[in-house]
Amino acid sequence: MTASTANGRRFREFKMPDVGEGLTEAEILKWYVNVGDTVSDGQVVCEVETAKAAVELPIPFDGVVHELRFPEGTTVDVGQVIIAVDTAPGSGPVAGEPAAPAAVPAEPEAPAAPERQAVLVGYGAAPSSTKRRPRKAAAQPSSVTAAVQAELNGHTAAAPAPAAVPTVPAPIAPEPAAQAASGGRPLAKPPVRKLAKDLGVDLAAVVPTGTDGVVTREDVHAAATARTAPAPAAEEPAAVAAVAAVAAVAEAPAAGARETRIPVKGVRKATAQAMVASAFTAPHVTEFVTVDVTRTMKLVQKLKDDPDMAGLRVNPLLLVAKALLVAIKRNPDVNAAWDEDNQEIVRKHYVNLGIAAATPRGLIVPNIKDADAKTLPELSAALSELVTTAREGKTGPAAMSGGTVTITNVGVFGIDTGTPILNPGEAAILAFGAVKLQPWVHKGKVKPRHVTTLALSFDHRLVDGELGSKVLADIAAVLENPQRLITWG
């Protein structure tokens, strides 16, 4: 962050920060401000994508946007100035400079972006700030994203992301005077602002109970509970149709075109590099087993009807995850990593369970920290949170680091099984195939039973055939007879 002064005016420059674990560059996905817009400390001005995740960048000072240095879709090195802000806009123009230079041409027809909140630690809202960020007219993105993005690991194929267009959202009108006069920008910490955004609560309408008039999480929850008008469900089909139309335009080739080139960058580029490194570094072995999971499917239904599981996500994946955790408990050597530098096998005494998820930006593998220490309801809640975060495209770098073993749910695509590639740094990955009703010999008779195929890929440097077979056999045994969750767990 730098500053310069000319003719009584002070300009402060905001540089591209290192938004995650030593990464050297990031792509500007979206600008949420335009030249001439007023910004305040803690306000999100743009969204960028690194090789790990999409991250929102808040600006750490007040002023008026003087210049946007790069258009959307540009990859910028860490340390480069991306935006300049005039912190003394009333001092008049600087001699020899245009009043409001713009590096990016504005397009009036570009849709206004929804309000976004800060996510980086250290950029909290300043208590002295008195200006609220203007509200956008567009609908919140969560409903659109949730409608088109895959259920955990995708229920539908994700469309290629449309090529970025160098545009800046058109200037928007400020809030009504009545809101501006209601006491200024409400005081709240960034996590509370995010909670209010997720619940659709206007912080200006919340009665604060915290010290010095700060809005607390309890205040937001109370305001959300007090609301009587639910969000209109009729907006969802329209949102889905709109996004489907955009996807169709993005996929349609130009007239006469015989091929389309899509730049590989961000998460998709990092995933490609990681998969190549994994495939040609770790000697993969994959084993398969087909198992009768009829009892597991019956247990899933019973858990859905159980009052103790009310409000929680209960599906076959939950019990597959629990079965894998039981198998790891019985065979702890599979939960390990290979240290090439020291030529050591590092056995992990905790399980960070990764769940592969397909998103429009590419494949990501967020993980549930200490999954082995969670009860079934806690594991269900953690899976639900992981799904919601992945749907909204808000999975952060921390959630995707430190994994020890992974599940990829290819069954949601109707696929029986596959040979999954290991997530780098892990010793095993389990593919869960589609559950189908098939003829099966049960108690000496051919009957229709729910059957699935599991595939376990493992690093043969750490896991030999005997250990890998034991792990896969234990998973299958639990799913065939889920009472083993109690006797073995």
Q: Which residues lie closer than 8 Å to 20 by C-beta, 6 or more apart?
A: 50, 52, 53, 55, 396, 397
Q: Which residues lie closer than 8 Å to 79 by C-beta, 6 or more apart?
A: 15, 16
Name the β-bridge partners of 134: none
**Annotated active-site positions, please?**
460
Query: Is residue 6 predicted with pLDDT exceeding 80?
Result: no
Looking at residue 150, its pLDDT comes to 39
Residues 47, 56 contacting (CB under 8 angstroms): yes
3-state class of 407 per DSSP? strand
What H or E segment, with its residue span, contains residue 304?
Answer: helix 294-305
- Neighbouring CB atoms inside 10 A of 476's CB total 21
Residue 399 DSSP class: G
| Proportion of the chain above pLDDT 70, given as a percent | 69
**pTM (two decimals):** 0.55
The vertex-130 CA angle with 124 and 136, nearest 5°, equals: 80
Q: Which domains does the chain have, with CATH numbers?
A: 2-251 (no CATH), 267-487 (3.30.559.10)
Give the closest residue to 127 by CA, choosing from 75, 77, 186: 186
Residues 392, 150 contacting (CB under 8 angstroms): no
3-state class of 313 per DSSP? coil
As a whole number of Å, the CA-based R_g of the chain is 26
Mean pLDDT value across residues 362-381: 93
Residue with the larger pLDDT of the pair 334 and 157: 334
Query: Is residue 470 predicted with pLDDT exceeding 70?
Result: yes
- pLDDT tens for each residue of 230-243: 433 333 333 333 33
Residue 453 DSSP class: E
Mean pLDDT value across residues 281-307: 94
Residue with the larger pLDDT of the pair 211 and 410: 410
Residue 396 DSSP class: -
Query: Is residue 223 predicted with pLDDT exceeding 50?
Result: yes
Query: Is residue 418 predicted with pLDDT exceeding 80?
Result: yes
Query: Is residue 400 predicted with pLDDT exceeding 70?
Result: yes
